[in-house]
Amino acid sequence: MNLEPSVRWVSLGRMGYDEALAIQTEQAERLLRGEDDAQTVFAVEHPPTITVGRSGTFDHILMGRERLRSLGIEVREVDRGGDVTYHGPGQWVLYPVLHLAPWGNDIGRYVRMLEEVVIRALAEDGVRAGREKEYPGVWVGADKVCAIGVRARRRPSGEFVTYHGLALNVNTNLAHFQLIVPCGIADRGVTSVERLLGRTQDFAAWEWRLKRSFEAVFLAGETGSGAPEDAAEAR
């Protein structure tokens, strides 16, 4: 399968969570209705936002909404899989809006492929990242560097259409993760590329590194093993 130009990469820059959500869900609806067949990845950086997924609980947000708002942090309840996570400046968020027939219509495989995208991108700088069998995302030791939570809905044909996606901490303010129980996991940490490599990263360069890695993984279809079920919500 030829990924380019069959998958288009759309750089949204820094954009509010609600606006980016509207863009990706509108594209997903077009695919679900059969009005479009384009495979699209949206890349975006959000202002500070805490999101609660379908299997999450507001109990995992450790500060009240009004106090968070006074700090410039919004809270949103969303329809992706997973629990509570944080988005903010210095974090690349990828929203692949794809129909999955080219990749076996397999959600578990798709989640492993998203993990592989980040694992390969980190390996370019010598960072040995991997998976945790019980938890979705990408880990370096006991610390999560990339959260993954997706939603998949079916076309009338039975083919899945995906949206939401992954969030890689590049130069992210890790102190903001102390406001939540990240992904509902209390006994693990959160890290960033900046912390792992000991220096501030060229943020724009990391978008294009993720793009190259995405193309390589989704062309080759090499997924690794182990996809935690709560990474995705499907119907």
Catalytic pick among 23, 167, 183, 217: 183
The angle that helices 203-220 and 107-123 make with each other, rounded to 10 degrees, is 130
Burial 13-47 (b: 16+ CB within 10 A, else e): eebebeebbebbbebbebbbeeeeeebbbbbbbbe
Dist CA 141 CA 195 (whole Å): 13
Dist CA 138 CA 118 (whole Å): 7
The answer to whether 183 is a known catalytic residue is yes
Chain length of the chain: 235
Task: Give me the residues paired with residue 89 across strands.
Answer: none
- Residues classed as catalytic: 183
